[in-house]
Amino acid sequence: MADIQHPASSLFSALTPRERDVMDYVARGKPNKIIAAELGVSQRTIEAHRARIFQKMQVRNAVELAHCVLAQRS
């Protein structure tokens, strides 16, 4: 059986290490305020990271992002 790669898998490589950190928090449903506090940055910085992540991953919201993350890890 051929190994079928999820279409989003190639998109993950476009993310920076910090964007991957933020993506993991977002995919787990963490709010921006909590993510910012845990990463030691401003809430506005997290909002900017989220916007870039959504654009790079070609998703519209956190639910779609979580779906991509779960599909990639399974």
74 residues of the chain, pLDDT tens digit each: 444 445 556 788 999 999 999 999 999 999 999 999 999 999 999 999 999 999 999 999 999 999 999 998 88
Beta strand spans in 15-71 (E): none
Residue 48 forms part of a structural domain: yes
In a domain, 5, yes or no: no
Half-sphere CA count of 54, side-chain side, radius 13 A: 13
CATH of the domain at 49: 1.10.10.10
Count up the domains in the chain and report the number.
1
Domain membership of residue 16 (yes or no) is: yes
Residue 3 counted as domain residue: no
Global pTM exceeds 0.75: yes
Q: Which domain holds residue 16?
A: 11-73
Q: What span, in angstroms and rounded, lies between the C-alpha atoms of 74 and 58?
A: 20
Output the pLDDT for position 74: 81
